[in-house]
Amino acid sequence: MDKKVSDGPPVAHYDLHIDGRDVPCDRVMDSFNPYTGERWAVVPDGQESDIDAAVAAARRAFDEGPWSKLTATQRGALIRKLGDIVARDAEILARIECNDNGKLYREMLGQWRYIPEYFYYFAGMADKLQGDVVPSDRTNFFIYTRREPVGVVGAITPWNSPGLLLVFKLAPGLAAGCTFVVKPSEHTPVSTLELAKRFKEAGFPDGVFNVVTGQGTLGAALVKHPGIDKVAFTGATATGKRIAASAAQNLTRVSLELGGKSPNIVFADADLDVAANGAIAGIFGATGQTCMAGSRLLVQDSVHDELLERIVARTKEIRLGNPMDEATEMGPVANEPQYHKVMEYIDVAKADGAKLCCGGIGDPDLGGFFVQPTVLSNVTNDMRIAQEEVFGPVLSVIKFSDEEDAIRIANDTRFGLAAAVWTQNIHRGHRVAHRLRAGTVWINAYRVVSFATPFGGFKESGLGRENGVDAIREYTETKSVYVELTGEPRDPFKLG
């Protein structure tokens, strides 16, 4: 797609956000709307020195600044205020993300209207984060534990849902008392910079939230920085492995939400209309650009042909177009490299013997990086298309014979992020859910998340959990405190 820089709407200009201030940058990069091809924003292309400055600001705020002196209740009040501001500006932030990554406005608006709930949930948890009194095995000691913030967090966020996936980290981290340096994807940095403006309005102290935009090398600089206490990353598994290896050099804690190749399992007794709708939502929602995408559709052989026919018929009716149009059901792929990656995977699948039932081509008439929603049948689980994450609107349909066969195929992957089971047999639903090696399993549903429910993966889909009570524990350390009760001299050479 040709990129237009000489016409179109006014171009927005942004600075870095460090220590509560907008900081100009000598180098800049353009952000192009993946639907129109127009340059719509100019953002900083930061350097390692900017990472150093941002980490120093976060370090000051954590170690000695006003943030470190706030009570947990006061922190919660600020987080709730931030949620109120985001709720007020949801429409603005949704339009920004549509411009940045081409996702549907109606989806982004729903997402940004839901994001405040994450802030409210963790704001309430801030002063509920308590330790324990530990029963002592010695009469002269009182022992208790404290949960304390881990420190300065380096957050690296992806381009598919930059706001939501940042808040997965930000809300629990702030509630725990941490400070942040964020490096958003170079493809979608603007919503993060806009969110930074709202921190000031909410009354957060300087240095609590810092944003450095730029190329991917900045993420590497952030991970290896000795001033970072924890890295929180969402993105590709290969990148997550490199981050874990680099962070290990400083024994920096990590949480990694990585890729998936999630199985959507349909048994013969399922309601096929409902299952077909769930399969389509699971892979074509967000143009298939979600880590939890149900990219493998496992169908029991006795209903395979019937379900495939229904899915293909509905897939051919999916309306592609302007993400801002309410009638549009699927937008473009978010950027040019991803567009080419998706098209290459379709070619590989066909060469390996998969049958193209529909889609499989771009759509030059629409402009942008459109890939027609694609359904592939005759897929076996050993094909690359069934084992590697495509991150696009490509569904692989795989037959299975019985329950054991379905579980075997579903678990035969290096990933373990999500899965779904479609059946009207409640016993089977629970039985299969318990045996699937995945962090989230839906029964007769797909692609549902909640601020109150842990989310994360097994195997190469990641480390740690986001959302729910589990998430705030990812941003704390446990300290044990022993209090001697008698004040009497003790034998210095005797333990305890």
Query: Any residues with CB less than 8 A from the CB of 137 and at least 6 apart, and which?
Result: none
312 and 247 within one domain = no
Q: From CA 242, how far away is CA 452, in angstroms rounded?
A: 30
269 and 202 within one domain = no
Measuring CA to CA, how many Å separate 461 from each of 154, 290, 304?
A: 20, 13, 28
**Domain membership flag for residue 274:** yes
Confidence (pLDDT) at 242:
98
pLDDT digits (tens, 9 = 90+) for 259-316: 999 999 999 999 999 999 999 999 999 999 999 999 999 999 999 999 999 999 999 9
Confidence (pLDDT) at 362:
85
Confidence (pLDDT) at 214:
97
Confidence (pLDDT) at 304:
98
- Domain interval for residue 408: 263-443
**Domain membership flag for residue 107:** yes
Total of domains in the chain: 2
Q: From CA 119, how far away is CA 205, in angstroms rounded?
A: 17
Q: Which residues pair with 192 in a beta bridge?
A: none
Q: Which residues of the chain have pLDDT under 50?
A: 1, 6
Confidence (pLDDT) at 6:
44
Please, how many CA atoms are within 13 Å of residue 275, restricted to the half-sphere of its CB?
27
Which CATH number does the domain housing residue 406 bear?
Answer: 3.40.309.10
Confidence (pLDDT) at 225:
98
295 and 181 within one domain = no
253 and 112 within one domain = yes
385 and 284 within one domain = yes
Confidence (pLDDT) at 9:
59
474 and 395 within one domain = no
| Catalytic residue annotation | 257, 291
318 and 439 within one domain = yes
**Domain membership flag for residue 7:** no
Cβ atoms of 370 and 332 closer than 8 Å? yes
Cβ atoms of 291 and 258 closer than 8 Å? yes
36 and 50 within one domain = yes
Confidence (pLDDT) at 4:
59
* Greatest pairwise CA separation for the chain in angstroms: 86
Nearest to 160 by CA among 366, 333, 295: 333
213 and 98 within one domain = yes
416 and 352 within one domain = yes
Which CATH number does the domain housing residue 124 bear?
Answer: 3.40.605.10
Q: Is 443 exposed, middle or buried (0-12, 13-18, 19+ CB in 10 A)?
A: middle
| Segments of 50-196 assigned E as strands | 133-134, 141-149, 152-156, 179-183
305 and 379 within one domain = yes
pLDDT digits (tens, 9 = 90+) for 376-404: 999 999 999 999 999 999 999 999 999 99
pTM of the model: 0.95
282 and 251 within one domain = no
